[in-house]
Structure 1
Amino acid sequence: MTEHIRLDLPLLLPTIPNEADRCVERLLAELTERDGVAEAHVIAALGDEPAKLCVHYDPEKVGLAQIRKAARAAGAALTARFGHLVWQVEGIEQERRARTVGETLSRLEGVFEAQATASGALRVEFDRSLIDEARVSSALASLGVGRRDSDMSATADLAASDVPAAAPHPVLADKQAPDHGEDADHSHEGGEGAGHAHGGIFGSNTELYFALISGVTLAVGFALSWTGAAPEAISTALYLAAYFFGGFFTVREAIDSLKLRRFEIDTLMLVAAAGAAALGEFAEGALLLFLFSLGHALEHYAMGRAKKAIEALAELAPQTAVVRRGSTTEEIPVEALVIGEIVVVKPNERLPADGFVIEGTSSVNQAPVTGESVPVDKQPVPDAAAAAAAADSVAATSRIFAGTINGSGALAIQVTRLASETTLAKVVKMVSEAETQKSPTQRFTDRFERIFVPLVLGLVVILLFAGAVIDEPFSATFYRAMAVLVAASPCALAIATPSAVLSGVARAARGGVLVKGGGPLENLGGLSAIAFDKTGTLTEGRPRVTDVVVAAGATEQELLQTAVAVEAHSDHPLAAAIVRDGTERLNGLPQKATDLKSITGRGVEAVVDGQLVHIGRDELFAEAGGTPLPQEVKASADELRAQGRTIMIIRQGARYLGVIGLMDTPRETAPATTARLRELGITRMIMLSGDATPVAKAVAASVGIEDAWGDLMPEDKVEAIKKLRTEEGKVAMVGDGVNDAPALATATVGIAMGAAGSDVALETADVALMADDLAKLPFAVDLSRRTRRIIRQNVFVSMGVVAVLLPATILGLGIGPAVIAHEGSTLIVVFNALRLLAFREVPFIRQERIAEERTA
């Protein structure tokens, strides 16, 4: 029976009762709907203790990553007491070793979850009040595992002091602010594990050298025995040497597994080799350990190729930067850069930091971060002080990312993020963390192994008594039982899924798509329904004023002056469009507005010239009271809506001034993208929008989507996703990762557009399209489907080999052929998975042709 764990996590919740109620309700609803969560409730704050989230969950089905995601979407934050670290380590040679390391750390007091991978990624969730990073490092050292030097020099150290004090329900001044207590903790302290970071006397290749030495001593011993050129004792001594070198790492892993009271594949192999020695078959036992260790070493080498694809991301940013200070420049390490400094970048150099252009023009190759195939033209911001005050709002034509490549022009960049907080640094950290998130198939195979291995041992015990049924000497019966041990060991199964997930995540990152683990990678490829946000996803997100309809008794000048005055204080995209386009039409200066208040989902109100002004949709005026909406104004609004416009009605005091119509331009790539998604098997696509239903339907039709749901508030989008999940089973949501955070968290797979530079998008989504390019979505879906196919192929091969070898060895197949087939299957699944690194996306020119053909 699967164990359910109770976990109490300190929370930060808003103080406003209504907000708190909504946050709590959303948080609990999101969690209890997760497969594997038995119960979730919030324990109220008591005295100095903050509110606590109590979750009863099955760690085999759901993890703390999903709990953190739900908390963020609900506007809550887990406090700094809940530690979350991601390290790169050395000393983990293969997947079974990684599993042992993870389970050993999981048994430490204060550790909630621990996962390690064969690529050297380690993720630990822990309670800072019970255990610290030094204790984790010490535990790793006892296993011969240590942090890499490059990881120990990282500077992203987010201490507990970075988090607001845990007062009862403290106000979150900005719900989009990063939750420092959850970020990866790259401590500078190497701990005792630092001395174990090289894998043995031959460095990281020690296992391979030991395997080769085992093979050489085996070959020499066999040659001497076959030719009779030396006494048999010498051959036996050489076979024993082969045993030592071939079984060195296997013995270490078997001992660690037995400490955890778990029988692993390594244990089975050792028993088989010891059995062969007991029968005097030293040559076959040595051959078994030689091939087994060689297979592990080659597996380690092959997995290293995928690992290097990820490590290459971290090496994109330069180590130094040229800083302009006064009239001079000097070169300093990128770690020493501070926010606000001016960095000078020469032509064809890599950019050392995130920031914005203040001088110079150039084309920048952003492919290393966003996956964009065409360089992006960059120009200076019009106002550096304003840009520094709102760095996240800087236009894409001026924003710069560390690790990208400058073109032919020199640039001066103002730094907006520390080296440890750049978009590239966060991508590297999140990709490393993604490796540790198990996919559904991997969870299944892990559970299968735990049941299958003891069954194999039981079968072997039964086979040892075969002499009571058939007439054969015990030596033959014992040999057969040892051969069955080799044949039934599911080595290939253990690596089948992790190798594919690692390769898939690495390939996606190289293409500008951040996939946060095996779960989203598998789920994305298994979907048949996708919901899209409208603004900024299917459209450009840059609406323009198309119509100005003046009410009786008002003038266009009066209407625009009032609208521009009010909307100048709002940061909504529609407000920006009214200010930009309205100002161009004005003959004079706009009026001054004060006391701006936002009415969520309806509009805004402010005071202009001593009178209360309301700007928004029809519903706003029914809620605000006052003079009812005149029939002629309503008719004008309805007509504009029927043409696909978003409308804004303006009322000053008791007088209606008129209607402004706006339209957001659909993305040029949207029709081709939806056509390609249908070709990939996405049978249902829905657009969700806060705009009126006619507007939503008009935009949806223009991009090839038949189903559009309009008039949706943010909470309505969450309900829409829940409805779709009920109808379709699994559904993805594509949005901008800010306003759509709750809906992204509710979907089976949340996909954020234009995540580069956006903390909220990177943290909330399961899949992040780094570029603001919808065309990357088919690439992500196609890669996911290819990954699912390779995982199925690998599982079929690994299980198929066991299914064939098991009866074959029972019927007399020897240990030698069995171990060759056994290790061969392991290498087949690893190299099959590596094919994902060479995956090529369908050229978008072909996608456009597909869209044209469908239109025709």
Structure 2
Amino acid sequence: MKNGQTDKLSATPPATNQHEHDHDHGGMFGPNTELIFAGLCALSLAIGFGVSFAGGIPAWVSLTLYGLAYFFGGFFTAKEAIETIRQGKFEIDFLMLVAAGGAGALGEWAEGALLLALFSIGHALEHYAMNRARKSITALAGLSAKTAVVRRNGTTTEVDVSALQVGDVIIVKPNSKIAADGVVIKGTSSVNQAPITGESVPVDKQPVADGSKDLAKAKPENRVFAGTINGTAVLDVSVTKAAGDSTLARLIKLVNEAESQQSPTQQFTDRFEKWFVPAVLILVVALCFAFLVIDEPFSASFYRAMAVLVAASPCALAIATPSAVLSGVARAARDGVLIKGGRPLEDLGDLTALAFDKTGTLTIGKPTLQKVVTLSGDERALLALAAAVEGLSDHPLATAIVNGSKERLGNVVLPEAVNLKALTGRGVQAEVDNEPVFIGNKALFDEQKTLTDEVRKQAGELEASGHTVMIVRKGKVFLGILGVMDAPRPEAKQTLAALKQLGIRRMVMLTGDNQQVANAIAQQVGLTDAFGDLLPEEKVKAVDELRQQEGKVSMIGDGVNDAPAMAKSTVGIAMGAAGSDVALETADIALMGDLLDKLPFAIGLSRSARRIIRQNLIISLGMVVILIPLTILGIARIGPAVIAHEGSTLVVVFNALRLLAYKK
């Protein structure tokens, strides 16, 4: 599915498939006109039926009231039938009109009116129930601020959100909605991102370093999204996306589009109905001539045919899957999980294997100081020296050592390091207390021919456990060894354990890092397999092999360099998709926040949706299987058939709506 650009923030559902009409049934009584018409139909029927038993009142009064019932009950039914006939299709609405017309032709005006009354009431209530699911999607549009305070040419003014331009600076007041996607350039505050990412805890935001103008490289702690809620401090935000291109606008558009993406079950029901509806019409025509074979008047044969027509109309079947898909997609979106339609919703619950990228998916995505081995002196002196020297470097490993050392040391005055020299590919050199200090890998000290067997052995053990090793020597003395590693996410182990409980048999890591690192991370988080040293095309091959072994497999990554492997998998899942156009484009499912623990929720929701879809199919097909023989044999008349038929439709819809209340 390709994403387009939205020209305005809108939550209007798109046109859907042949069974999902827009149902824009407004009129003189507003959006509830259809329900009011259904009520007037039932009222006219009830009065007409009562008058027919009153003495002294002409028969035409009852007929007039039945005629009103036909008008009110058939108005929207006829409207939809005409729309579908123009498309060259015959659907349920057409079958209902034929049945009601046939009852009238037999002089059974009361039963025809009853058919239209129950059908119109059922349809009206069905649409009302479906709209409850759509409101969960439409509510996303309400997250957007309507206006923004913008600073232009030294003055501040309040403008409509649609008037914001990229580069504008907006002032976000405390406890107010953020009006546009952007980057914080002034102020520090916590922001509630739950409406977009599903994160339950507010996220601290701070301005870009040194007022940097390269906003495209801003870090997550600098970025904010439209629809999120500012905390207790004022923020100045530079707008990076217009209102129609914001993450919120794209989320609304994609969730709406998901409603029209058919699931495998929905495709099956559509194929079934394509031959079932014509077969019913043929059967009905044949039953009209039953009087030629059996001893009964034409009116009895015709009535039976109309009853079968009512019984065989697959109302519940038509709505069984769309209602569940819509409810499931809406429930997922409320928790920061974007599911792009019925196919991924159903497939997700059928997975038995998951393939994970490592960096940024199973790990936090940046190196941290994990191990400290002291060879001479004490640990605090070792860390203080390392922090002093590496503090002069801007290398990612140096940053990890400095941050990790300061966390362990607390407020300690570091020694003064000078004359830093980078030794490319090996480490760094500096001076502390007029003595040379070297911090680097084994190659650096091999080159100097100073590496001892004991240091080599301990460094090798750390490397075998997946650490990047930095050896520290001051003068001629080896002080210690520092092990740096991209650590697993805090929630990774618990998440994978939950996935195992859900029945996921294989959980595999695919990474470009070396096999030792892959093995170390796999052991820590509880993976079943780990494959390292993989190029992007080798990841694709690994996913293909996993599909052949397991049937259905999902690839979970960041949606950028893992896009080819995602495309090869049954369901591609992107992590941290908020604000990432590429992730939203490539994935079948997007976890809007950087939250790995949303996976068990999404899989559990999918399995619940699959169960409800199966239940709905059993209810809808079962009712048809029961009613057709009963009406053919004359046991069930039109009235009871309508009640059972429309009752099953409402059961199916309300069963699907249970997904809106799904608990994690």
How far is the alpha carbon of 1:592 from its aligned partner? 8.4
What is the SS of the residue equivalent to 2:184? strand
CA distance in 1, matches of 2:262, 2:581: 24
Corresponding residue for 1:678? 500
How far is the alpha carbon of 1:488 from its aligned partner? 0.5
Match of 1:455 among 276, 279, 286: 279
Corresponding residue for 2:146? 319
Q: 1:789 corresponds to which letter in structure 2?
A: R
Q: Structure 1 residues 520, 645: CA separation in 2 closer, same or farther (over 3 Å shift)?
A: same
Residues 117, 435 of structure 1: 8 Å contact kept: no
CA distance in 1, matches of 2:121, 2:13: 19
Residues 542, 577 of structure 1: 8 Å contact kept: no
Residues 646, 691 of structure 1: 8 Å contact kept: no
CA distance in 2, matches of 1:229, 1:701: 90
How far is the alpha carbon of 1:662 from its aligned partner? 3.4
Match of 2:622 among 772, 795, 800: 800
Corresponding residue for 2:417? 587
Corresponding residue for 1:274? 101
Q: Structure 1 residues 456, 326: CA separation in 2 closer, same or farther (over 3 Å shift)?
A: same
Corresponding residue for 1:242? 69
Q: 1:642 corresponds to which letter in structure 2?
A: A
Q: Structure 1 residues 746, 352: CA separation in 2 closer, same or farther (over 3 Å shift)?
A: same
CA distance in 2, matches of 1:444, 1:86: 34
Describe the superposition over 1:495-522 as per-residue Cα deviations: whole angstroms up to 9, x where unpaired. Answer: 1111111111111111011111111111
Q: Which runs of 5+ in 1 are unaligned?
A: 1-64, 70-79, 93-97, 101-115, 121-144, 146-196, 550-558, 569-574, 595-602, 605-614, 619-629, 650-658, 842-856
CA distance in 2, matches of 1:246, 1:263: 19
Match of 1:389 among 214, 230, 253: 214
CA distance in 2, matches of 1:802, 1:338: 57
The answer on 1:826 being equivalent to 2:649 is: yes
Residues 169, 237 of structure 2: 8 Å contact kept: yes
- Greater mean alpha carbon deviation, residues 778-787 or residues 224-233: 224-233
What is the SS of the residue equivalent to 2:500? helix
The answer on 1:705 being equivalent to 2:535 is: no
Corresponding residue for 2:661? 838
Q: 1:745 corresponds to which letter in structure 2?
A: A
The answer on 1:215 being equivalent to 2:42 is: yes
What is the SS of the residue equivalent to 1:363? strand
Match of 1:402 among 200, 215, 226: 226
Q: 1:417 corresponds to which letter in structure 2?
A: K
Match of 1:424 among 232, 248, 251: 248
CA distance in 1, matches of 2:141, 2:354: 32
Match of 1:443 among 261, 264, 267: 267
The size of the alignment, in residue pairs, is 616
Q: Structure 1 residues 678, 436: CA separation in 2 closer, same or farther (over 3 Å shift)?
A: same
CA distance in 2, matches of 1:383, 1:247: 69
Q: 2:78 corresponds to which letter in structure 1?
A: V
Match of 1:576 among 396, 404, 414: 396
Q: 1:330 corresponds to which letter in structure 2?
A: T
Match of 1:643 among 465, 490, 500: 465
CA distance in 2, matches of 1:526, 1:253: 36
Corresponding residue for 2:177? 350
Q: Structure 1 residues 684, 795: CA separation in 2 closer, same or farther (over 3 Å shift)?
A: same
Task: Give the TM-score, by structure 1 length.
Answer: 0.66
Matches within 5 A, 1:462-611: 462-544=286-368, 576-578=396-398, 581=401, 587-588=417-418
Match of 1:815 among 619, 632, 638: 638
Match of 1:719 among 522, 533, 541: 541
CA distance in 2, matches of 1:589, 1:436: 64
Residues 291, 298 of structure 2: 8 Å contact kept: yes
Residues 648, 661 of structure 1: 8 Å contact kept: yes
Corresponding residue for 2:436? none
CA distance in 1, matches of 2:88, 2:245: 42
Matches within 5 A, 1:650-669: 662-669=484-491
What is the SS of the residue equivalent to 1:290? helix
How far is the alpha carbon of 1:648 from its aligned partner? 10
Task: Give the TM-score, by structure 2 length.
Answer: 0.85
Residues 9, 243 of structure 2: 8 Å contact kept: no
CA distance in 2, matches of 1:707, 1:290: 61
Residues 9, 249 of structure 2: 8 Å contact kept: no
How far is the alpha carbon of 1:383 from its aligned partner? 2.4
How far is the alpha carbon of 1:438 from its aligned partner? 0.8
Match of 1:293 among 100, 111, 120: 120
What is the SS of the residue equivalent to 1:383? helix
Match of 2:161 among 300, 315, 334: 334
CA distance in 2, matches of 1:462, 1:637: 87
- Greater mean alpha carbon deviation, residues 403-412 or residues 269-278: 403-412
Q: 2:258 corresponds to which letter in structure 1?
A: A
What is the SS of the residue equivalent to 2:220? coil
How far is the alpha carbon of 1:382 from its aligned partner? 2.1
Corresponding residue for 1:691? 513
How far is the alpha carbon of 1:593 from its aligned partner? 11
CA distance in 2, matches of 1:91, 1:512: 21
Residues 211, 290 of structure 1: 8 Å contact kept: yes
Corresponding residue for 1:368? 195
Match of 1:762 among 574, 584, 588: 584
Residues 261, 340 of structure 2: 8 Å contact kept: yes
Q: 2:417 corresponds to which letter in structure 1?
A: N
Corresponding residue for 1:175? none
Describe the superposition over 1:87-136 as per-residue Cα deviations: whole angstroms up to 9, x where unpaired. Answer: 865898xxxxx544xxxxxxxxxxxxxxx945x5xxxxxxxxxxxxxxxx
CA distance in 2, matches of 1:266, 1:669: 51
What is the SS of the residue equivalent to 2:52? helix
Matches within 5 A, 1:250-261: 250-261=77-88
How far is the alpha carbon of 1:661 from its aligned partner? 5.8
Q: Structure 1 residues 616, 524: CA separation in 2 closer, same or farther (over 3 Å shift)?
A: farther
How far is the alpha carbon of 1:748 from its aligned partner? 0.6
What is the SS of the residue equivalent to 1:373? coil
What is the SS of the residue equivalent to 2:170? strand
What is the SS of the residue equivalent to 1:226? coil
Q: 1:822 corresponds to which letter in structure 2?
A: H
How far is the alpha carbon of 1:668 from its aligned partner? 1.2
CA distance in 2, matches of 1:776, 1:83: 27
CA distance in 2, matches of 1:508, 1:275: 45
Residues 537, 753 of structure 1: 8 Å contact kept: yes
What is the SS of the residue equivalent to 1:756? coil
Q: Structure 1 residues 209, 638: CA separation in 2 closer, same or farther (over 3 Å shift)?
A: same
How far is the alpha carbon of 1:272 from its aligned partner? 1.0
CA distance in 2, matches of 1:203, 1:617: 78
How far is the alpha carbon of 1:204 from its aligned partner? 2.6
How far is the alpha carbon of 1:784 from its aligned partner? 0.8
The percentage of counterpart residues that share the same residue type is: 59
Q: Structure 1 residues 799, 646: CA separation in 2 closer, same or farther (over 3 Å shift)?
A: farther
What is the SS of the residue equivalent to 2:365? coil
Q: Structure 1 residues 117, 469: CA separation in 2 closer, same or farther (over 3 Å shift)?
A: closer
Q: Structure 1 residues 580, 707: CA separation in 2 closer, same or farther (over 3 Å shift)?
A: closer
Q: 2:491 corresponds to which letter in structure 1?
A: T
Q: 2:37 corresponds to which letter in structure 1?
A: F
Describe the superposition over 1:123-159 as per-residue Cα deviations: whole angstroms up to 9, x where unpaired. Answer: xxxxxxxxxxxxxxxxxxxxxx9xxxxxxxxxxxxxx
How far is the alpha carbon of 1:639 from its aligned partner? 4.2
Q: Structure 1 residues 676, 446: CA separation in 2 closer, same or farther (over 3 Å shift)?
A: same
Q: Structure 1 residues 88, 379: CA separation in 2 closer, same or farther (over 3 Å shift)?
A: closer
